[in-house]
Structure 1
Amino acid sequence: MLGRKGSPGSSWVSLVLLLVHLSAALEVPLDPKILQELSQPPTITRQSPKDYVIDPRDNIVIQCEAKGKPPPSFSWTRNGTHFDIDKDSRVIMKPNSGTLVIDIVGGGKAEAYEGEYQCTARNDRGTAVSNKIVIRQSRSPMWAKEKIEPIIVQEGVALVLRCDPPAGLPPPIIFWMDSLMRRFPQNERVSQGLNGDLYFSNVLPNDSRSDYICYARFNHTQTIQQKQPISVRVLTMDAINETYAAISNGTELSGDSPAGERKPSILSPKGTRSNKMVLRGQILYLECIAEGLPTPVIRWNKEGGELPSNRAFQINYKKTLKIIDVSEADSGRYQCTAKNKMGTNKHTISVTVKAAPYWINEPKNLVLAPGEDGTIICRANGNPKPAVQWLVNGFPIESAPSDVSRQLMDDTIMFTKVQVSTSAVYQCNASNQHGYLLANAFVNVLAEPPRMLSFSDQVYQVIANKPAWLDCAFFGSPIPKIQWFKDGHGSILYGDSYIFHDNGTVEIIIAQKNNSGTYTCIATNTLGVAHNQAFLEVKDPTTIIKQPEYQSVEKLGTAVFECQVKHDPTLLPIIIWLKNGEELPDDSRHQVFGETLTLLHVTEEDQGSYTCIVNTTLDVNSATAALTVLDRPDPPSDLELTSPLDRSVQLSWIPGDEHNSPISHFIIEYEEDQFEPGAWHHLVEVEGTKSTAQLKLSPYVNYQFRVIAVNPIGSSEPSLPSEHYFTQPAAPEDNPSNVQGMGTDPNNLVITWKPLKGIQHNGAGLTYKVSWRQKDVDDEWTSVMVANVSKYIVSGTPTFSPYDLKVQAFNSLGAAPEPQAVTGYSGEDLPLLAPTSVRQHVVNSTLAKVHWNPVPPESVLGFLKGYKIYYWKERSLIKQSRHHPEVKILTFSGDKNHGMVPGLDPFSVYKLNVRVFNGKGVGPPSDNVVVQTPEGVPSSPEFLKITSPTLDSLTLQWGPPVHPNGILKGYILKYQPINSTHELGPLVEITIPADNETSWTLKDLNYSTRYKFYLNAYTAVGPGSKITEEAITVMDEAMASRQVDIATQGWFIGLMCAIALLILILLIVCFIKRNKGGKYPVKEKEDAHADPEIQPMKEDDGAFGEYRSLESDTEDHKPLKGSRTSSDGTVKKGESDDSLVDYGEGGEGQFNEDGSFIGQYSGKKEKEAVEGNESSEAPSPVNAMNSFV
Structure 2
Amino acid sequence: ILLPWQVLCDLSPFPVPADDNSLHGPVFLQEPDSVIFPLDSEEKKVKLSCEVKGNPPPTIGWKLNGSSIDVGMDFHYSLLGGALLINNPNKSQDAGTYQCVATNPFGTIVSREAKLQFAYLENFKTRTRSTVSVRQGQGMVLLCGPPPHSGELTYAWIFNEYPTFVHQDNRRFVSQETGNLYIAKVETSDVGNYTCVVTNTVTNSKVLGPPTPLVLRNDGVMGEYEPKIEVQFPETVPSAKGTTVKLECFALGNPVPTISWRRADGKQLPRKARRHRSSGLLEIPNFQQEDAGLYECVAENVRGRNVARGQLTFYAQPSWTQQIRDVRAAIEERVSWECRASGRPKPSYRWLKDGEPLLPQGRVQLEQGSLTIANVSLSDAGMYQCVAENRHGVIFANAELSVIAIGPDFSKTLLKKLTLVKVGGEVIIECKPKASPRPTYSWKKGKDILRENERITVLDDGSLRIVNVTKADAGSYTCVATNHFGTASSTGSLVVKDPTRVMVSPFSMDVTVGESIVLPCQVSHDHSLDIMFTWSFNGHLIDFEKDGDHFERVGGQDSAGDLMIRSIQLKHAGKYVCMVQTSVDKLSAAADLIVRVPPSPARQAELELPQLLCPLHPQECWNPGNSSGCPGWLQPLPGDSETLAQIPEVIDGRTFTATVVGLNPWVEYEFRVVAANLIGIGEPSRPSEKRRTEEARNHLTAPGPSRGRPAVSCCCTALLHLHVGFGFQSCHIHLLHFSFCSP
Which structure carries more helix by proportion?
1
TM class by shorter-chain length?
A: 0.3 to 0.5
Which structure carries more strand by proportion?
2
Question: Which structure would you say has the larger RCO, counting Cα contacts within 8 Å and 6 or more residues apart?
Answer: 2
The structure whose Rg is larger is 1
| Structure-2-length-normalised TM-score | 0.48
